[in-house]
Amino acid sequence: MELFDVYPLYDVAPVSAQGIEVKDDHGKTYLDFYGGHAVISIGHSHPHYVNRIKSQLEKIAFYSNSVQNPLQQELVGLLGKLSGCDDYNLFLCNSGAEANENALKLASFHTGKSKVISFSNGFHGRTSAAVATTDNPAINAPINKQQQVTFLPLNDFDAFEKAIQSDNYCAVILEAIQGVGGLDEPTTDFYQFIAKKCKENGVVLIADEVQSGFGRSGAFFAFQHHGIEPDIISIAKGMGNGFPVGGILIHESIKASYGLLGTTFGGNHLACVATLAVLEVLEQENLIENAKILEDHFKQGAAKIPQVKKIKGRGLMLGLEFDFEVADLRKRLIHNQHFFTGGSKNKELLRILPALNISKDHIDQFFEALNKELS
Ligand SMILES: Cc1ncc(COP(=O)(O)O)c(C=O)c1O
> Considering only 30-39, 83-92, 100-109, 161-170, which range has the smallest mean pLDDT?
161-170
372 Cα–ligand 1 center, Å: 32
374 Cα–ligand 1 center, Å: 31
Q: Evaluate: CB of 101 within 6 angstroms of ligand 1.
A: no
Largest pairwise CA distance in the chain = 61
Q: Please give the pLDDT value at position 177.
A: 97
CA–CA gap between residue 187 and residue 52 (Å, rounded): 40
Residue-wise pLDDT tens digits, 213-254: 999 999 999 999 999 999 999 999 999 999 999 999 999 999
Residue-wise pLDDT tens digits, 133-166: 999 999 999 999 999 999 999 999 999 999 999 8
305 Cα–ligand 1 center, Å: 31
% of the chain beyond a pLDDT of 70: 100
3 Cα–ligand 1 center, Å: 22
124 Cα–ligand 1 center, Å: 5
Looking at every residue in the chain, the average pLDDT score rounds to 97
Q: For a ligand 1 pocket test, name from 124, 206, 221, 234 the mutation site with the most ligand atoms within 8 angstroms of its C-beta.
A: 124
- pLDDT-based confidence at residue 329 (cuts at 50, 70, 90): very high
Residues 6 or more apart whose CB falls under 8 angstroms from that of 322 comprise: 307, 308, 309, 329, 348, 349, 350
CA–CA gap between residue 161 and residue 147 (Å, rounded): 21
Q: Please give the pLDDT value at position 49.
A: 98
Sign of the alpha-carbon torsion through 239, 73, 51, 83: positive
Q: What is the C-alpha end-to-end distance of the chain, expressed in Å?
A: 45
Helix H or strand E encompassing 216: none
Mean pLDDT of 94-122: 98
Mean pLDDT of 340-354: 97
Helix H or strand E encompassing 129: helix 128-132
Angle between helix 157-164 and helix 188-201 axes, rounded to 10 deg: 10
User: Which residue owns the Cα nearest ligand 1 atom 7?
Assistant: 96
Q: Evaluate: CB of 96 within 6 angstroms of ligand 1.
A: yes
Q: Evaluate: CB of 211 within 6 angstroms of ligand 1.
A: yes
Q: Evaluate: CB of 131 within 6 angstroms of ligand 1.
A: no
- Angle at the Cα of 239 (from 217 to 108), degrees rounded to 5? 90
65 Cα–ligand 1 center, Å: 24
Q: Please give the pLDDT value at position 281.
A: 98
Residues 6 or more apart whose CB falls under 8 angstroms from that of 142 comprise: none
Mean pLDDT of 168-196: 97
Q: Please give the pLDDT value at position 166.
A: 87
Q: Please give the pLDDT value at position 167.
A: 75
Q: Evaluate: CB of 236 within 6 angstroms of ligand 1.
A: yes
> Minimal CA–CA distance to 362: which of 301, 279, 287?
301
Residues 6 or more apart whose CB falls under 8 angstroms from that of 293 comprise: none
310 Cα–ligand 1 center, Å: 24
